[in-house]
Structure 1
Amino acid sequence: MFYRSNSDGNGGETTWCFSQVKGTLEDDVTEADLISCVEFNHDGELLATGDKGGRVVIFQRDPASKQCVPKKGEYNVYSTFQSHEPEFDYLKSLEIEEKINKIRWLKRKNQAHFLLSTNDKTIKLWKVSERDKRVTGYNTREEGGRAREPARVTQLRVPTVRPAELMVEASPRRIFANAHTYHINSISLNSDQETYLSADDLRINLWHLEITDQSFNIVDIKPANMEELTEVITAAEFHPTECNLFVYSSSKGTIRLCDMRAAALCDRHAKLFEEPEDPHARSFFSEIISSISDVKLSNSGRYMMSRDYLGLKVWDLRMETKPVETYPVHEYLRSKLCSLYENDCIFDKFECCWSGDDQRLMTGSYNGFFRIFERGGCGAGACGAARRQDLTLEAARDAAARPRQPLRARRVATTAKRKKDEISVDCLDFNKKILHTAWHPHESIIAVAATNNLFIFQDKF
């Protein structure tokens, strides 16, 4: 079974195949090499990853791969730099990890690229620029840069600009620090490209890209008595077109839409999205698995996707009462919640993403599996479930031996009797988890982070 869709813009079929894998394929991997975030820029020409060692690696689309027929989604290393270093908070006797939590690209305005990266406490604005020319013929210094003695300057020369080997430089332009008491879990650029928000467990701050020493607190859910704390903020994002709107999710499974025009401090939300809980299905794990780990607004701004532990939900911003679509990601794990709680996997935070046309959704699972869902034509319920298509694919190292070959769909057996091409739920490897995924903004090219490897897949046609 291949994943097929008529939403590729040409009315044709889409068959996913392996394109590239980045990173060493050895089994001995250090903790610092584990990828912690993946993000395409706005035109898809660059792809950035951050890791637990504080490094940012930027990949650039190979120009020749775009001229092929059909096009290839191949990327080469463009720049690598150390974004964050480990720090120590002496006042709290707390170590601050260098791990990159999020990367967000700014829209390109000139020849340089800009991106925001953050660890638990500090956000940095980076400028990534190219230099392929050098100036020669200085009067006051030697070619190596050493100052020349004035007595040796006997004639004046006109400096000339000559071609040189391409160099890509990454330099920090702004450092936004000391504004969060708790760990930063989200950053999101506003559509005005001048401001952005950063969120931790209890507060959301609004920043201006030109001002580093001041931010505005726009959400504060910290109670006067911390013993009364009932929920924490898990993710936050600006609306893609309305600069005054943003959403944030909580550990109680709710999403709040806020309008900054209403008040300076958005303690009162404009809308609350929450699905009523079935009292008959309530268990010890209900509150844990209902916590939302990621929320993403669609590119059109009409819909919103939320990811909890077991599934995806799509909400219409005009309807707060219930999601319009529900997609179970790994419902077969519901019977394994007890063991998942014991090994802490139940607290894993899976991310999700939209395709460029908002017609497909992607998120990760265990055993190297990731899920792609095609949105159904008649919404949630039995009708939508019957029409829409979903696919389970695997980011496996042996795929590198079969480039451009269609990926084989994977299935998990939920009963004792399993078919030949199915894998038993008891055989799943919970150490191989796909937490971070990204979708090219205009093409059917996806990036999937699996431990220290970045897999790139694309449609064959």
Structure 2
Amino acid sequence: MAGNGGETTWCFSQVKGTLEDDVTEADLISCVEFNHDGELLATGDKGGRVVIFQRDPASKQCVPKKGEYNVYSTFQSHEPEFDYLKSLEIEEKINKIRWLKRKNQAHFLLSTNDKTIKLWKVSERDKRVTGYNTREEGGRPRDPTRITQLRVPTVRPAELMVEASPRRIFANAHTYHINSISLNSDQETYLSADDLRINLWHLEITDQSFNIVDIKPANMEELTEVITAAEFHPTECNLFVYSSSKGTIRLCDMRAAALCDRHAKLFEEPEDPHARSFFSEIISSISDVKLSNEGRYMMSRDYLGLKVWDLRMETKPVETYPVHEYLRSKLCSLYENDCIFDKFECCWSGDDQRLMTGSYNGFFRVFERGAGGGRRGELTLEAARDAAARPRQPLRARRVAATAKRKKDEISVDCLDFNKKILHTAWHPHESIIAVAATNNLFIFQDKF
């Protein structure tokens, strides 16, 4: 990247969201996801809403191309509920959104809160039917005695409307909070994971699912780990991976047994006994796992860094990227303010040569992999509104000083704002366009060239 031996120079493209300081909890973005061709970008928020943005056609025609998106559709996906049997409130917050590959004119996506998964159809309507026989133009039924002749209804052009309608509701299958949903490469089945179980669903069947992983002990006092993330392999429909709070990743093969309690491979990095501390177990918990687009590698995010694993080598990661190592000396205060439990996501670029994940103070990290899989360049960038004043200008790389002595362009670690956390990011599947969620704002950045 610019100034780091790499190739990409990032610049500001757009920011979506309000400027007000009195942002409500419901406005906070809780997930971001591009669809398979990158033409649509969906966000979910803590208020249960899904907002879909569509690529501006003009932005693709200009030279160089621009990554600009306009609001396409907004709908309420989930409502707050109350479980009377357990006296438990169920939040409307959207935990994950996953797009289905497009098969016709309509778009389909899955969205989930803690308990219920919904399949939504998003379609366009730009025509209307007039000349009904049995009802008025407004929709009211006509008096049959006043119908004296039959008319042939006609189809006329109308103003474009985008409609979102729920096609399936998959409920009552999870005792604990759903943290992951992942579509299979067969585009017919998907998995959903909570703290202790992973279920396999068919998109056409809502009243039953198959339990494929169950790590719940007979005695809950013996519980030592929970499932933190799960994902299907991008091309092999029988393979999936799931990560745990103990820092392990298990690769499972559904051909081996109906219940995949016995993993095919276990990916775990041996712990350095000299580096062990009170916080070791907490910071080794994996918050996200993502398989590369071509399926050979896998990326995992723990509290302090990213690791890239080769699926053919279980013993140790092939690449390690420290995200904010300067926070290691701050773990005590991060534990006291609960930041140490933040769950950062990560994502691959379309060509699998770059990685992205978030940090604090509005910072996010982009790492460039070398041709041989090694490290080539890394960059810390900031999702800040002042970038909007400099569109098409290269973003300034940010640096954090871990010690009291700092250079002119560095920020002291003591000055970081831990309320400005970048938890959710997404990468366009084919272009150098990235989406970064910062509280209630969605920032879109792109390659300057």
Specify the alignment match of 1:454 in structure 2: 442
Q: Deviations over 1:244-300 (max 9, x none)?
A: 000000000000000000000001000000000000000000000000000000000
CA drift of 1:368 comes to 0.1
CA drift of 1:420 comes to 1.1
Q: Deviations over 1:21-70 (max 9, x none)?
A: 00001211000000000000000000000000000000000011110100
CA drift of 1:146 comes to 1.3
Specify the alignment match of 1:6 in structure 2: none
Specify the alignment match of 2:32 in structure 1: 38
Measured in 2, the distance between the counterparts of 1:425 and 1:104 equals 36
Partner SS for 2:207: coil
CA drift of 1:386 comes to 8.7
Measured in 2, the distance between the counterparts of 1:385 and 1:355 equals 14
Change (3 A) 1:383 1:242: closer
Structure 1 stretches lacking a partner, 5+ long: 1-8, 376-381
Measured in 2, the distance between the counterparts of 1:323 and 1:14 equals 25
Measured in 2, the distance between the counterparts of 1:431 and 1:384 equals 37
CA drift of 1:151 comes to 2.5
CA drift of 1:153 comes to 1.9
Change (3 A) 1:276 1:10: closer
Partner SS for 1:215: strand
Measured in 1, the distance between the counterparts of 2:11 and 2:141 equals 57
4+ residue runs over 3 A deviation? 9-13, 382-387
Q: Is the counterpart of residue 311 in structure 1 residue 299 in structure 2?
A: no
Measured in 1, the distance between the counterparts of 2:281 and 2:4 equals 44
Query: Of 404, 423, 426, which aligns to 2:392?
Result: 404
Q: Deviations over 1:92-138 (max 9, x none)?
A: 00000000000000000000000000000000000000000001111
1:66-215 map, 5 Å:
66-215=60-209
Measured in 1, the distance between the counterparts of 2:372 and 2:134 equals 74
CA contact 2:41–2:54 (8 Å) conserved in 1: yes
CA drift of 1:399 comes to 1.1
Specify the alignment match of 1:3 in structure 2: none
Worse-superposed segment, 385-394 or 400-409? 385-394
Worse-superposed segment, 410-419 or 285-294? 410-419
Measured in 2, the distance between the counterparts of 1:67 and 1:124 equals 35
1:201-350 map, 5 Å:
201-350=195-344
Specify the alignment match of 1:423 in structure 2: 411
CA contact 2:99–2:109 (8 Å) conserved in 1: yes
Measured in 1, the distance between the counterparts of 2:110 and 2:372 equals 38
Change (3 A) 1:113 1:101: same
Measured in 2, the distance between the counterparts of 1:10 and 1:33 equals 36
Measured in 2, the distance between the counterparts of 1:68 and 1:322 equals 45
Q: Deviations over 1:219-260 (max 9, x none)?
A: 000000011100000000000000000000000000000000
Measured in 1, the distance between the counterparts of 2:373 and 2:8 equals 20
CA drift of 1:416 comes to 1.7
Q: Deviations over 1:363-396 (max 9, x none)?
A: 0000000000001xxxxxx999995100000000
CA drift of 1:14 comes to 2.4
CA contact 2:368–2:375 (8 Å) conserved in 1: no
CA drift of 1:152 comes to 2.1
Change (3 A) 1:284 1:49: same
Structure 2 stretches lacking a partner, 5+ long: none
Change (3 A) 1:12 1:344: closer
CA contact 2:129–2:154 (8 Å) conserved in 1: yes
Identity value in percent = 97
Measured in 2, the distance between the counterparts of 1:349 and 1:239 equals 22
Change (3 A) 1:383 1:302: closer
CA drift of 1:12 comes to 10
Change (3 A) 1:190 1:50: same
CA drift of 1:421 comes to 0.8
Partner SS for 2:140: coil
Measured in 2, the distance between the counterparts of 1:331 and 1:11 equals 21
Measured in 1, the distance between the counterparts of 2:441 and 2:290 equals 24
Change (3 A) 1:241 1:341: same
Change (3 A) 1:11 1:107: farther
Q: Deviations over 1:387-422 (max 9, x none)?
A: 510000000011112111110000001122211111
Change (3 A) 1:387 1:254: closer
Q: How many residue pairs align between the two structures?
A: 447
Change (3 A) 1:307 1:387: closer
CA drift of 1:350 comes to 0.1
Partner SS for 1:180: coil
Measured in 2, the distance between the counterparts of 1:14 and 1:315 equals 24
Measured in 2, the distance between the counterparts of 1:29 and 1:138 equals 47
TM, length-normalised to structure 1: 0.95
In angstroms, what is the RMSD of aligned CA positions?
Answer: 2.0
CA contact 2:394–2:448 (8 Å) conserved in 1: yes
Q: Deviations over 1:291-345 (max 9, x none)?
A: 0000000000000000000000000000000000000000000000000000000
Change (3 A) 1:384 1:285: farther
Partner SS for 1:336: helix
TM, length-normalised to structure 2: 0.97
Change (3 A) 1:368 1:384: farther
Measured in 2, the distance between the counterparts of 1:421 and 1:26 equals 29
Q: Deviations over 1:171-208 (max 9, x none)?
A: 00000000000000000000000000000000000000
Measured in 2, the distance between the counterparts of 1:350 and 1:10 equals 24
CA drift of 1:154 comes to 2.2
Change (3 A) 1:212 1:430: same
Change (3 A) 1:386 1:105: closer
